[in-house]
């Protein structure tokens, strides 16, 4: 399969591109951030007029996985117009081009479309109620994609892993700070379902292979608080979990409002894929094994912006 991956310098896009390149022909879309990546690169600012048409026409993919986004929730609050362009307009444009050319399309969305007020687990048919600019624009993106391209897959995700900057994911946040002996807060009242980014990539490719379509929750099968996640990561890495202070998110200084309950059901996904999703402990074991094997350094070596 010729696979076009946008956001190929991002946490998801880079890990996915690196993994997928083993069995597929990968073309990553990049804004001059990567160097010597082991896959083909197509340089483009996706907000440039005609960029979408140009990259699709040039790369002639069988499938597009759209990972590029304005994914920093606080930056979205500060730059709502840019957030709208990136998270709502752009996915619709890409989805439309793919529909016209009969190219499979996966759009990456977020668990944060829910307000977190539900007492139990969220299923795909539950009504979203986004709380901030990021979530609002992502939901708008989902809806426009489904409207122009009903064959598309819309995947609501949440993941952790090793990133190009070394600080994009929540797991890296805990490891960096605890490793430096610093105390951090861990939210006890934000529930989520983290999945190792590499497992997410495998599942997305399986969804393409199975020709799934429509809306799916593509998260880890186990819900936990962000505090509990920090403690699990700390213990696995031999770091001091008592440096993590349990705290309520409502008492934090974060700009954008965070939903309390982002426990998403993966029943539809595992049924349609006919597979058991990897357990949280399996993901964490693999994340630690990657660390032992120098994967974080390998990922960071692909950055353009190196000193010296």
Ligand X SMILES: NC(=O)c1ccc[n+]([C@@H]2O[C@H](COP(=O)([O-])OP(=O)(O)OC[C@H]3O[C@@H](n4cnc5c(N)ncnc54)[C@H](OP(=O)(O)O)[C@@H]3O)[C@@H](O)[C@H]2O)c1
Q: What does the binding site for ligand X look like in residue numbers (CB under 6 A)?
A: 7, 9-13, 31, 33, 45-47, 67-69, 71, 86, 108, 110-111, 138, 157-159, 168
One-letter-per-residue 3-state SS of 275-289: CCCCCHHHHHHHHHH
Q: Between 47 and 256, whose beta carbon lies closer to ligand X? A: 47
Which of 105, 127, 99 lies closest to 115, judged by CA?
A: 127
107-121 per-residue burial string, b: 16 or more CB within 10 A, e: under 16 = bbbbbbbbbbebeeb
Q: Between 43 and 147, whose beta carbon lies closer to ligand X? A: 43
- In the complex, least distance from residue 158 CB atom to ligand X, rounded to whole angstroms: 5
Q: Between 131 and 158, whose beta carbon lies closer to ligand X? A: 158
| Three-class DSSP category at 7 | coil
Q: Between 106 and 273, whose beta carbon lies closer to ligand X? A: 106
Contacts 24+ apart (CB under 8 A), 30-33: 32/304, 33/9, 33/164, 33/303, 33/304, 33/305
| Three-class DSSP category at 6 | strand
- In the complex, least distance from residue 15 CB atom to ligand X, rounded to whole angstroms: 8
- In the complex, least distance from residue 108 CB atom to ligand X, rounded to whole angstroms: 4
Report the alpha-carbon distance of residue 12 to residue 68 in Å, rounded. Answer: 9
Q: Between 38 and 242, whose beta carbon lies closer to ligand X? A: 38
Compute φ and ψ for 160, nearest 5 degrees.
-140, 160
Q: Between 47 and 184, whose beta carbon lies closer to ligand X? A: 47
| Three-class DSSP category at 185 | strand
Q: Which residue is nearest to ligand X (CB)?
A: 10
Q: Are strands 104-110 and 63-66 parallel, antiparallel or unpaired?
A: parallel
- In the complex, least distance from residue 120 CB atom to ligand X, rounded to whole angstroms: 20
- In the complex, least distance from residue 242 CB atom to ligand X, rounded to whole angstroms: 26
Contact 246, 224 (CB under 8 A): no
- Tokens representing 22 are 């083993």
- In the complex, least distance from residue 170 CB atom to ligand X, rounded to whole angstroms: 7
Q: Are strands 25-30 and 2-6 parallel, antiparallel or unpaired?
A: parallel
Q: Between 94 and 212, whose beta carbon lies closer to ligand X? A: 94
Q: Between 201 and 238, whose beta carbon lies closer to ligand X? A: 201
- In the complex, least distance from residue 181 CB atom to ligand X, rounded to whole angstroms: 26
CB atoms within 10 A of CB 274: 8
- In the complex, least distance from residue 146 CB atom to ligand X, rounded to whole angstroms: 15
């Amino acid at each position: 399969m010729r696979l076009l991956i946008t956001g190929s310098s991002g946490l998801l896009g880079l890990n996915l591109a690196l993994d997928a390149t083993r069995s597929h022909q990968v073309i990553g879309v990049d804004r001059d951030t990567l160097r010597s990546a082991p896959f083909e690169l197509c340089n483009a600012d996706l907000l440039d007029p005609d960029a979408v048409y140009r990259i699709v026409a040039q790369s002639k993919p069988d499938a597009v996985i759209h990972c590029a986004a304005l994914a920093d929730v606080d930056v979205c609050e500060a730059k709502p117009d840019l957030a709208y362009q990136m998270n709502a307009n752009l996915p619709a444009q890409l989805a439309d081009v793919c529909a016209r050319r009969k190219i499979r399309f996966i759009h990456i969305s977020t668990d944060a479309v829910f307000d977190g007020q539900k007492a139990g687990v969220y299923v795909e048919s539950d009504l979203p109620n986004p709380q901030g600019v990021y979530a609002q624009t992502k939901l708008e993106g989902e809806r426009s994609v489904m409207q122009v391209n009903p064959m598309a897959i819309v995947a609501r995700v949440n993941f952790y892993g090793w990133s190009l900057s070394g600080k994009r994911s929540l797991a890296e946040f805990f490891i960096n700070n605890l490793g430096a002996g610093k105390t951090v807060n861990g939210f006890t009242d934000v529930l989520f379902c983290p999945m190792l980014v590499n497992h997410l990539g495998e599942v997305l490719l399986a969804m393409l292979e199975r020709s799934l379509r429509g809306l799916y929750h593509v998260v880890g099968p186990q819900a936990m608080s962000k505090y509990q996640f920090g403690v699990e990561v700390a213990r696995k890495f031999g770091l001091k979990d008592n440096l993590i202070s349990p705290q309520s998110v409502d008492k934090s200084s974060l700009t954008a409002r965070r939903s309390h309950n982002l426990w998403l059901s993966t029943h539809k996904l595992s049924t349609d894929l006919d597979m058991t999703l990897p357990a949280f402990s399996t993901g964490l074991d693999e994340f630690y094994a990657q660390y032992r094997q120098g994967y974080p350094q390998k990922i960071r070596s692909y950055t353009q912006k190196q000193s010296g």
